[in-house]
Amino acid sequence: MTTQYTITELAREFDVTPRAIRFYEDQGLLSPSREGSSGLRRVYSGRDRTRLKLTLRGKRLGFTLSEIRDLLDVYESPTDTVPQLHAFLGTVARHREVLERQLEDLNATLEDLAQYEAQARALLEGGKHAASEARKATQAQETQQGRRAREAKPA
């Protein structure tokens, strides 16, 4: 006998709403069978559970629904998947580049925050002289940020 799941069970297991699961069904990512006299009760198979798990993982990694659909096709393809895998690797590489750029931006922002924090602490501890020094440091920092922004712009 095959394991079956209700929408409520899957929603609890994966910490998503039943509405989200129905949305993925509407998008063709899940295909539960229907039971009951009116056919309204959704019954999800182990295959649907795996597809939901891969879908949620893909969303967490920033993939579009179309890209997730391609991933699911590779996962379930009984035939030659080499071209699909090459395409998927290209998608992964593009996402990696985006995330690496975001990481660089976040690191730069964290550096800026650390400098502002240090300046604020110096102001609290040192009075007027520290305030003058902090203003000079802020101006130098803003000049450096402007230079960094110009260097980051593509030619």
The tens digit of pLDDT for each residue in 96-114 reads 999 999 999 999 999 999 9
pLDDT in tens, 111-136: 999 999 988 888 888 866 666 676 67
Write down which residue in 76, 101, 121 finishes a domain.
76
1-28 tens-digit pLDDT: 678 999 999 999 999 999 999 999 999 9
41: domain CATH number?
Answer: 1.10.1660.10
41, 48, 50, 60 from 16: Cα distances, Å: 18, 15, 15, 13
What order do you get walking across the sheet with 4-5 strand by strand?
Answer: 4-5, 41-45, 33-35
Single residue among 45, 76, 107 that ends a domain in this structure: 76
pLDDT of residue 44: 95
What's the pLDDT score for residue 49? 96
Residues 14 and 53 in one domain: yes
Whole-angstrom Cα distance, residue 88 to residue 97?
14
Number of domains comprising the chain: 2
The residue out of 76, 96, 111 marking a domain boundary is 76
Same domain? 95 vs 34: no
Q: Is the domain of 10 the same as that of 51?
A: yes
Are residues 90 and 138 both part of a single domain?
Answer: yes
**Segments forming the whole domain that contains residue 136:** 82-154
User: Which of 6-20, 25-39, 84-98, 137-151 has the least mean pLDDT?
Assistant: 137-151
| DSSP code string of 107-153 | HHHHHHHHHHHHHHHHHHHHHHHHHHHHHHHHHHHHHHHHHHHHHHS
pLDDT at 71: 85
Q: Are 61 and 117 within one domain?
A: no
Provide φ and ψ at 25, rounded to 5°. -65, -45
Task: Look up the pTM and report it.
Answer: 0.66
